[in-house]
Structure 1
């Protein structure tokens, strides 16, 4: 320190400047080396494929022949000539509009129940969360057996045993989408854990102050718990929108190449998959994927702009 002050007064260079500069450069290089596997992975498996798919969306490409530039023809065909476009968009939006609020509400109240301080509550939390860690293919095959219409169907046998008529589940256009939404409630435990972590962060003093003011359980829920949980509501809303608009698990349970009975489970992501790997129409599938990306991005930006209702700690 004294050397630096003396150097400043005399106008000479600080002899430690070169050492400090070398140390900072060494830190930077070390940081880059540690981060390089992730950076290389993102560039190779995310950024570059995205750039390629954007290029292919303007071409006629089938993986076997050299791509031919067609301009915006793929995008025009999606909105003017493809008979499936309206169906897949409608199915996806209906699924999103129903499943997002359903999972938000169920996750919220499940976390409320799991937040009680009772004996064995850790076991209940584990059981609620357990379905989330089961691989999607395994759980999908499990649901195929559960929703079977014939004598081997687990759910229909249960209904029969209690005197209720059997349901058609995925075998009928009327019940396919409701059955699919019901099936996806299976993963509500993931949202429950996020809600639960939020409830644990709410200061107990707020509830104590509310009790002193004469607040009942409903008042505490609406004036303390929900306002303090708005960041998690916002997070679950964003991730729910992104996930539901890309839903593709009907490929496992829907049958008919994931379309379901009479295209009842034909979602946008399933359409993209079938075009890319069923028809080998990579250019057309890429165009559909970029339309989906643009819609999700615009919707996400809009929600962020309208997020003034979200309360973050420390705000006045």
Structure 2
């Protein structure tokens, strides 16, 4: 094991000497602990893992006061405290001619980075993983959507676009479907028979994720269905939850997260906006039916056992009841699903980034 680890370290150093440098810029807030950098969302951690043996990676992220969850496997991380700090960090990389730049999502922070990169005469990749217009609408209000559209207009004009679907960006783009699914997610899936139906939500506790909408619906259907609801995620503080609702903090352990899925019967994805939800892939990998709502019905694609409900008490109740009564029947359809894997994502992204933009 030690020999294998040493070989990987040697391989990593040799790649850093010969491979293209890629500077990844994201609005992600990170914290430092014991000389390691941690993020709350797994995307940055995943990018570091899948690209570090192909490219010489550098990250420019935001410093924030957050609970450390996912350790980023890179020592080449610059945490910024301000826009001036961002300017200073990027200026260092502009002195190097052959660097490539990958911007994740559109925010004021990443838009400022884009302006600096463009003024320096460099080009960059822009990776769109979700519908920012809808997120702006639910976070800031409909009146602020024009700001996102303006940023998208300029960034799309000068960047090479990578996206997860054509609804996010309808013009020319490269497709890359993020996935955390590996052999651990796909093996030994099991169903535990619970006395009470156990519903599960995994994701951020934020209004745009539809959590508060889900809580209202769950409280209403309890008159007809005996069930519990577990919320796994960080974000807003939830108060006055009834005895059948439990909120637990997210886990960095893949094994523990898989165990959480296995202990539940149905997964709920109540988001108002999504691009390519990882929760959907994780649910299907663990052979758990998942309920989504009609405003994100497009994420169902050709997957089996993804059930679309209207966002009202009656339809939500009917959907849960149908799944409960027909679980044995629908279980046969899980094996028909072709779930994108982490390896698929790695190959897609490396092929795109190896192109000259």
TM-score category, normalised to shorter length: under 0.3
Which protein is richer in helix relative to its size?
1
Higher relative contact order, chain-length normalized (CA < 8 Å, sep 6+):
1
Which protein is richer in strand relative to its size?
2
TM-score, length of structure 2 as denominator length: 0.18
TM-score, length of structure 1 as denominator length: 0.20
